[in-house]
A and B are shown apart, each in its own frame.
Chain A
Amino acid sequence: MTSRRNFLKRSALTTAGTMLIPNFLKALEATAPGSFAGEKILVVIQLSGGNDGLNTIIPYQDDLYYSYRPQLAIPKEKVLKASDLLGFNPALEKLNVLYDKGYLTVINNVGYPNPDRSHFRSMDIWQSASDASEYLSTGWIGRYLDASCAGCNTAHQAIEVDDTLGLALKGTSIKGMAVRNPARLYKAMHNPFIQQLNDNNKASQINDPSLHYLYKTLAETVSSADYIYDRSKISPVAATYPANEFAGRLRTVASLINAGVETKVYYVSLSGFDTHVRQKTQHERLLSTYAESVYAFIDDLERSNRFKDVLIMTFSEFGRRVSQNASGGTDHGTANNLFVMGRNLKKKGFLNGSPDLRKLDDGDLIYQTDFRSIYATLLNKWLAADDTRILSQKFPLLDFI
């Protein structure tokens, strides 16, 4: 308990606005329910498969875009125009609304040196925040937990809404937790056999490191399952969500945030973006699923007055090639746009210029901002963590927050 409280306290105290509250009050508050209100929360949304950024945010004034994609380009008149140069895919109507409210920053031309066009490798690089030439077995959020929450004995500081835990949330000594459905997890952990084992085996009394780790993980899982389920029961859902799995997962995140669950990072994925063949229909369906679900999620958080504490970052492992292919789709590319959403963004709209289609690297966009600069900014400015330690390198911080 103590160590978790320290973790929360440390991050809370570095957050502007809470600086005036004396330490002892903060410490008292940390023991009361609802004390998590005011804590900064990061929600990461992963678009798996390689989202076609050029058909997401459209450079509708660029003739080259239309010549590279004779069938696939979004006709100029259909683009939801946002700036003089860029606009949204018509399926992103709700994202356009968020943009108009000043809740959205699109960072163009995000990538990394020596890009890898394989899904699993590029996702590995994004999740571990490694160089293209190195292999890490921990993820960037996992290392954030290692750095900020040493000695924590709860599993839910970072939650992936899924049944399996991805690399991003695995640290060296601390791992996040995968929860797709709090009620189901609770039921699974309340199996009498598991309860008996947990009650009668205390990790602190086990010497063997592997067995100790197994019983420690079991204890943390049981206690987090109880905690999350108890909290999630009390949380009202105010907004109306679309009826799809992804929206359901965001709804779970909102219910946990609104219930004051002490989780700093949430991770949710939407898959299906590997659009090699007949891209148009599939891509638009995915984009509208994404935009409508995120819109409902933000609406939900606004109703509970928590949106001010939440930042949403959306990425994909790579963009697609500039030219369409022969099957009405696009193949694996490199640099891409990335979205950040929040209530009090310092830079709104579009960061970095429109993608430069005149200067390509073998038919691919050239990145301008290393994605780890964005991670560093989120870690440093939003989560008040030591970005250099977590990323093992110093990346320039950006000023969108």
Chain B
Amino acid sequence: MDQKFRHLYNRAAFGVYPGMSVDDTAKNFAGMLAAAAGQKTISIVNNYREEMALAGAKEDPERRKALKDQVKQDQVLLNTTWIGQMEDRSLVLREKMTLFWHDHFACRVRSPYLAQQQNNTLRTHALGSFSDLLMAVSKDAAMLQFLNNQQNKKDSPNENFARELMELFTLGRAQYSEDDIRNAARAFTGWAFNPQTGEFVFRQRAHDDGVKTFRGKTGNFSGEDIIAMILEDRKTAHFIALSLWQFFADSAAADEEVVNDLAKSFYDSGYNISLLLGKMFAGTAFNNAQCMGNRIKSPVELIVGAMVHTGGKFNNPANLLFLQRAMGQVLFQPPNVGGWPRDKAWIDSSSLAFRMSLPAVLLQNSETEFETKDDGDVNNVTNSFDNARRISFSVDWQKLGSIFMKSNAADCLAAIAEHLMARPVSATNMKIVQERVGKSKEDQEFVRNAFIAFMSLPEYQLS
């Protein structure tokens, strides 16, 4: 298989699908982009009014409990529906980008309806214009709630949104003053959402329409003006280009020239995200051998990657919650507005041991003794998934057997390694895998054992 092709699928998707052929040029980046032109909106949570009724249901404990249970069910369903959608080959580029933005615009709210709404906003703009995306996220109910803009009023400004907008979403640290934050916060006063519908509303009476000074300019700025001024600054283009480079290409080393070049065309294109991605994925820096298999998969990438690589399906959604918790990344629950720490931060002695033992658990449907941490929050639905340790994961081994079985063992192992591994497996480790798999009695068992062995290598943690 062509290395570049596999590299693209490791990064822009979650890995190569079984049986994919490199000759199929429709599956390069342009092909992925074309396939992702359509989008599948997630609409499994439709009872925002009922969620909101929860607060008012104090007098009726039974109704309150029923509503609470519904919210919990919806949280689980939203999480697992998204995971399922990430695995879908035709949607994968848009979903991977949605995952990127989910981390970039990290946000955590209790309402599954608002979480779903934001997730769809990210999905809609995931490959479009960053300017549109930024405006949409800034007017998104979940973000307004998470960063306290509901409380940002003329008489009592709240700076939380203004600060994170600049520090984490656009310009990056130290590109603005505390005065800029104060003035920007004033411009966003009155940006709120309707608690009945979850829709953005501008509350004129709460808005401070006085004169503001922002980054050297003075005027009667609105929130829209502030966002426009932030986008006018090339530093925003650079910050986003660097962030995309670090996520998709190389988190350790940023080649300044490459990133500057990407930032420039990003800015000149009016913040066209697809254009930036196309340029990055086609570039020599991205396709350099050093850039391949040098990135540690996040837990979600590892889980979805295992589904993609094997074509397997989780029969019990609770397993997905358990695995996310066990490895420290639960979708819709980032640790803070800064998102999840990346790469090496995922790996410590216990998480590595768990990750290396996972393939055997997954592909043999066994139970792990591993327990997840209870974060103490009685309302966190995912605390109750520790009993989902018995994994039920279905793989069509007959199909994988027909794809990967070759006339001799060495060729078969080579084909599977090529399919699964982001970097070449050393001769030493190939031998260790061979010894382990060599005892298998029949063909399908051989293929299954080979999948387990390769996926248990530390190298499989890399993409």
Contact present for B377 and A119 (CB under 8 Å) = yes
Bound Cα distance from A220 to B351, whole angstroms: 13
Return chain B residues, CB-CB under 8 Å to A55. Answer: none
The one of B356, B376, B428 that contacts A272, using a Cβ cutoff of 8 Å: B376
Known: A49-B376, A49-B377, A317-B376. A221 touches B353 (CB 8 A): yes
Residues of B within 8 A of A214 (CB): 296, 347, 352, 458-459, 461-462
The chain A residue sitting closest to B378, CB to CB, is: A274
Is there contact, CB below 8 Å, between B373 and A269? yes
Q: What would 6 A/B residue contacts be, using CB atoms closer than 8 Å? A: A48-B375, A120-B333, A177-B348, A177-B349, A196-B435, A210-B252
**Stretch from B29-37, B273-281, B338-346 forming part of the interface with A:** B338-346
- Determine if B341 and A120 form an interchain contact, defined as CB atoms under 8 angstroms apart: no
Is there a chain A Cβ closer than 8 Å to B436's Cβ?
yes
Q: How many A residues have CB within 8 A of the partner chain?
A: 57
**CB proximity of B115 to chain A, nearest CB, Å:** 15
A272–B378 alpha-carbon span in the complex (Å): 8
Q: Is A208 an interface residue (CB 8 A)?
A: yes
Stretch at the interface among A85-93, A184-192, A385-393: A184-192
Contacts of A271 in B (CB 8 A): 373-376
Asked if B370 is at the interface (CB within 8 A of a chain A CB), the reply is yes
Partner of A210, one of B295, B348, B350, B377: B295
Q: Which residues of A contact B163 (CB under 8 A)?
A: 133
Q: Are A197 and B458 in contact (CB under 8 A)?
A: yes
Q: Determine the distance from Cα of A48 to Cα of B377 in the docked complex, in whole angstroms.
A: 8
* A209 / chain B contacts, CB cutoff of 8 Å: 252, 294
Which residues of chain A (255-311) have a CB below 8 Å from chain B?
A: 269, 271-274, 276-277
Q: How would residues 171 to 201 of chain A score, 1 for a CB under 8 Å from any chain B CB and 0 otherwise?
A: 0000111111000110011000110110011
**CB contact list, A35-67 vs B, under 8 A:** 47-50
Q: Decide if B135 is an interface residue (CB 8 Å cutoff).
A: no
Shortest Cβ distance from B184 into chain A, in angstroms? Answer: 15
Cβ contact of B344, chosen from A47, A120, A197, A213, cutoff 8 A: A213
Chain B interface, >50% SS class:
loop
Q: Mark B436-463, 1 if CB is under 8 A from A, else 0.
A: 1000000000000000010011110110
CB distance from A115 to the nearest CB of B (A): 14
Is A178 touching B350 in the complex (CB atoms < 8 A)? yes
Bound Cα distance A50, B295 (Å): 37
* Nearest neighbor of B356 in chain A, beta-carbon distance: A194
Report the Cα distance A273→B354, complex, angstroms.
28
A356 within 8 A of B: no
* Residues of B close to A211: CB separation below 8 A: 293-294, 423, 458-459, 462
State whether B453 touches A189 (Cβ < 8 A).
Answer: no
Are B350 and A200 in contact (CB-based, < 8 A)? no
**Chain A neighbourhood of B356, CB < 8 A:** 194, 218
With known contacts A135-B337, A164-B372, A213–B377 Cβ distance under 8 A = no
Is B133 among interface residues, defined by CB-CB distance under 8 A? no
Q: B143 interface residue, CB < 8 Å from A?
A: no
- For residue A143, CB closer than 8 A to chain B, the reply is no
> Are A197 and B432 closer than 8 Å at their CB atoms?
yes
A6 to B444, CA, bound (A): 53
Contact of A175 (CB < 8 Å), options: B336, B348, B375, B378: B348
Given contacts A49-B378, A221-B353, contact A121 B336 (CB under 8 A): yes
CA A189 to CA B349, docked complex, whole Å = 11
Interchain CB contact under 8 A, A48 and B376? yes
Residue of A nearest to B342 (CB): A137
The closest CB in chain A to the CB of B370 belongs to A163
By a beta-carbon cutoff of 8 Å, the part of chain A in contact with chain B is 47-50, 119-121, 123-124, 133, 135, 137, 155, 162-167, 170, 175-180, 184-185, 188-189, 193-194, 196-197, 200-201, 208-211, 213-215, 217-218, 220-221, 224, 269, 271-274, 276-277, 317, 326
Decide if A326 touches B58 in the complex (CB within 8 Å). Answer: yes
Q: Is B108 an interface residue when CB atoms closer than 8 A count as contact?
A: yes
Most A CB within 10 A of own CB, among B371, B373, B428, B429: B373
**Beta-carbon nearest neighbor of A119 in chain B:** B377
Question: Are A163 and B372 in contact (CB-based, < 8 A)?
Answer: yes
In angstroms, how far is the closest chain A Cβ from the Cβ of B149?
Answer: 16
Given contacts A48-B376, A167-B335, 15 further A-B contacts (CB under 8 A): A121-B336, A123-B375, A135-B337, A163-B354, A163-B370, A166-B373, A208-B423, A209-B294, A210-B344, A217-B349, A217-B352, A218-B356, A271-B375, A273-B376, A274-B378
Beyond A135-B336, A197-B429, A211-B459, whether A163 also contacts B371 by CB under 8 A is yes
In the complex formed, the residue of A with least CB distance to B336 is A135
Kindly count the residue-residue contacts between A and B in the assembled complex, taking CB atoms under 8 Å apart: 148
Q: CB < 8 Å: which of A121, A164, A208 contacts B350?
A: A164
Please name all residues of chain A whose beta carbon is closer than 8 Å to the beta carbon of B257 when the two chains form the complex: none
Query: Which A residues lie within 8 Å of B376 (CB)?
Result: 47-50, 119, 123, 271-274, 317
Task: Among A162, A166, A170, A215, point to the contact of B345 (Cβ < 8 A).
Answer: A170
| Interface presence of B306 (CB below 8 A) | no
Question: Is B328 among interface residues, defined by CB-CB distance under 8 A?
Answer: yes
Residues of A within 8 Å of B58, CB to CB, are 326
* Nearest-Cβ distance from residue A205 to partner chain B, whole angstroms: 10
In the complex, how many angstroms separate the beta carbon of A331 from the nearest chain B beta carbon? Answer: 11
A339 to chain B, nearest CB (A): 17
Residue numbers in A under 8 Å from B300 (CB-CB): none
Question: With A164-B373, A269-B373 given, is the CB distance from A213 to B347 under 8 Å?
Answer: yes
> Which residues of B sit under 8 angstroms from A194, Cβ to Cβ?
356
How far apart sit A162 and B325, CA to CA, in the bound complex (Å)? 13
A276 near B378 with CB under 8 A, answer yes
Tell whether, in the assembled complex, residue B432 and residue A180 are in contact, meaning their CB atoms are under 8 Å apart.
Answer: no
Closest residue on chain B to residue A49 by CB atoms: B376
> Which A residues are in CB contact (< 8 Å) with B458?
197, 201, 211, 214-215, 218
- Please determine whether B338 and A135 come into contact, CB atoms closer than 8 angstroms: yes
Question: Which residue in chain B gives the minimum CB-CB distance to A329?
Answer: B378
- Given contacts A49-B377, A201-B429, are A210 and B353 in contact (CB under 8 A)? no
Bound-state CA distance A49–B374 (Å) is 9
Note all chain A residues with C-beta closer than 8 A to B373.
162-164, 166, 269, 271
Q: Whose C-beta in chain A lies nearest to the C-beta of B435?
A: A196
B456 contacts which chain A residues (CB < 8 A)?
A: 193
Docked CA distance A210–B163 (Å): 33
Q: Is residue B326 contacting chain A, with contact meaning CB distance below 8 A?
A: yes
For B383, give the chain A residue with the smallest CB separation.
A271
A271 to B379, CA, bound (A): 13
With a cutoff of 8 Å between Cβ atoms, the chain A residues found around residue B462 in the complex are 210-211, 214
- Nearest CB of chain A from residue B423's CB, rounded to whole Å: 8
Identify the 4 closest CB pairs spanning chains A and B, nearest first.
A48-B376, A49-B376, A221-B349, A137-B341
When the two chains form their complex, are residues B351 and A188 in contact, meaning their CB atoms are under 8 A apart? no
Structural contact, B357 and A188, CB atoms closer than 8 A: yes
- Is the CB of B60 closer than 8 A to any CB of chain A? no
* Interface members, chain B 123-137 (any A CB < 8 Å): none
With an 8 A cutoff between CB atoms, is B369 at the interface?
Answer: yes
Is A200 a contact of B429 with CB atoms below 8 Å? yes
A220 interface neighbour in B333, B349, B374, Cβ under 8 Å: B349
Residues in B whose Cβ lies below 8 Å from that of A175: 348-349
- Please indicate the chain A residues that have their CB under 8 angstroms from the CB of B293 in the complex: 208, 211
Residues in A neighbouring B295, C-beta threshold 8 A = 210
B106 — nearest CB in chain A belongs to which residue?
A: A135
Question: What are the residues of chain B within 8 A of A121 when measuring CB–CB?
Answer: 336
